[in-house]
Structure 1
């Protein structure tokens, strides 16, 4: 989330589209509401347009930047800010828990490149225990999938997994004119807040993720077909779930029930 600086060209391989609209930048920071007691983590600070306002809040700010050519500029721009530190790293591989100090939760934000946004969100969901909230700029369609409801075309694996872990709020749209270079898609700001209490708790997260992935492997097929090898039609019926239903009709709690039942069966002695 940053504005372009003379001499740096946005790189396609990093999915760089620099935010340059001052009004939108201020609106994003207001939505985050950073304070001096917060520990912020910004993914992809770029040239530091939003970073600048975050630093002014006196919050502790760790920035994760993959483009090594941008890091010297960030260090110069914020050289006298004791609350700022930049890390040259790939956010997809970064251990966010390593930034936590004295149990203080992290507030993560960033303008996530379109080409890695979904895998990066899955990576970040695994850190729910150390995260207070997350604010991201994403392709509008990705935000719609995150915030989707069952029985809609947008409801899918990303919706189920994100909503199991977090409450999702779509905040506002950001048009292409706010960026340089202009992306070919609309963007949106979304807030993800880890749930203090879950409606239903899975017994094995890896098994849950596998079942959800398999359920949506072929959206037009029924649960009976997609879950073959995990659960039979009779087992689905025993849980009160019609095996002829399609995956997009199931609520998160139903996926949890399927996964927990499948795990129960898998751990039973032969």
Structure 2
């Protein structure tokens, strides 16, 4: 007999009452209680029994339960010790699900992948991420060059829109560039705040990040590239020339203007109008000039 689905208002309230669980605001705990959205998240990950799924912050296992139906191996990392016995109870009939107590920001993820996913062909991260650590978690997953097929996560709607934004709009910024350097983003659906217990103050969105085989642009020094990107958005209302002067010094302001112009980039443009390739052009020009 199939276990009762966790991701419903009735079942969630029953589990909370059974274990006397109290939500910790500091951990950003909001449990999803909508089966349709859970199905949409799992469907977007395109899992099958030859693939693995890493879930971060499984809560009481609503999404974990759905992942276990589709994936060959599921590993769920939960930071809250109080949830571990609940998860092991809820997932008792799923031997291919491993629950790990830990902080994903402190774990050696390469080692975790070797230990947990050696028997599957591909791995996806599928999670309902706490708002307060969304960006650090995603950037760790991307920067560590893990063998991931895609990342499907539910995050704050505004953050998802920023990740998927194209040049020229107010949502486009350094986060857009960083994510799109590694991935192709696609918004899957908007999730109203009313489908959670407790309800957060803002709506969420599910975003799918398909990992690129190679970064979107070729740069000789990634750290330098991202310094240029960050520098270009220091003050959004300022021009490129003004923002990037802080990287080269006021004494090089005129040389900076000449370098941008010679690179085919108008110094009076703002960072939000530049493509990933144009940031790469600037980075290469800086390095050729000896501006680290």
TM-score normalised to the size of structure 1? 0.92
Alpha-carbon deviation of 1:139?
A: 0.8
252, 259, 264: which one aligns with 1:235: 259
158, 161, 177: which one aligns with 1:141: 158
Structure 1 residue 38 corresponds to structure 2 residue 62: no
Larger mean CA deviation between 4-13 and 166-175 belongs to 4-13
C-alpha offsets along residues 34-76 of structure 1, whole Å, 9 cap, x if unaligned?
2111111001011001101111224211111111110121122
50, 62, 84: which one aligns with 2:97: 84
Tell me which protein shows more helix as a share of its residues. Answer: 2
Structure 2: how far apart are the matches of 1:2 and 1:9?
17
1:173 is aligned to 190
Structure 2: how far apart are the matches of 1:63 and 1:2?
16
Structure 1 residue 212 corresponds to structure 2 residue 253: no
1:96 is aligned to 109
C-alpha offsets along residues 223-267 of structure 1, whole Å, 9 cap, x if unaligned?
111111347111111111111111001011111121222233338
1:109 is aligned to 126
245, 251, 260: which one aligns with 2:269: 245
| 1:107 alignment partner, SS class | strand
Alpha-carbon deviation of 1:213?
A: 1.2
Instruction: Specify whether residues 267 and 212 from structure 1 end up closer, same or farther in structure 2 by C-alpha distance, changes over 3 A only.
Output: closer
1:60 is aligned to 73
RMSD (Å), alpha carbons: 2.1
Kept after mapping to 1: 8 A contact 2:29/2:130: yes
Kept after mapping to 2: 8 A contact 1:40/1:60: yes
Alpha-carbon deviation of 1:170?
A: 0.3
Instruction: Write out the 4+ residue segments of structure 1 that deviate beyond 4 Å after TM superposition.
Output: none
2:252 is aligned to none
Provide structure 2 residue ranges, at least 5 long, that are not aligned to the other structure.
Answer: 1-5, 249-254
Kept after mapping to 1: 8 A contact 2:160/2:205: yes
Instruction: Give the total of aligned pairs.
Output: 268
Kept after mapping to 2: 8 A contact 1:128/1:194: no
Provide structure 1 residue ranges, at least 5 long, that are not aligned to the other structure.
Answer: none
C-alpha offsets along residues 117-147 of structure 1, whole Å, 9 cap, x if unaligned?
1222222221345111000101110111011
TM-score normalised to the size of structure 2? 0.85
1:203 is aligned to 220
13, 23, 32: which one aligns with 2:36: 23
171, 174, 188: which one aligns with 1:154: 171
Structure 1 residue 11 corresponds to structure 2 residue 35: no
Structure 1 residue 189 corresponds to structure 2 residue 213: no
Alpha-carbon deviation of 1:191?
A: 0.2
C-alpha offsets along residues 96-134 of structure 1, whole Å, 9 cap, x if unaligned?
222334594421111111111122222222134511100
Kept after mapping to 1: 8 A contact 2:180/2:216: no
Kept after mapping to 1: 8 A contact 2:42/2:126: no
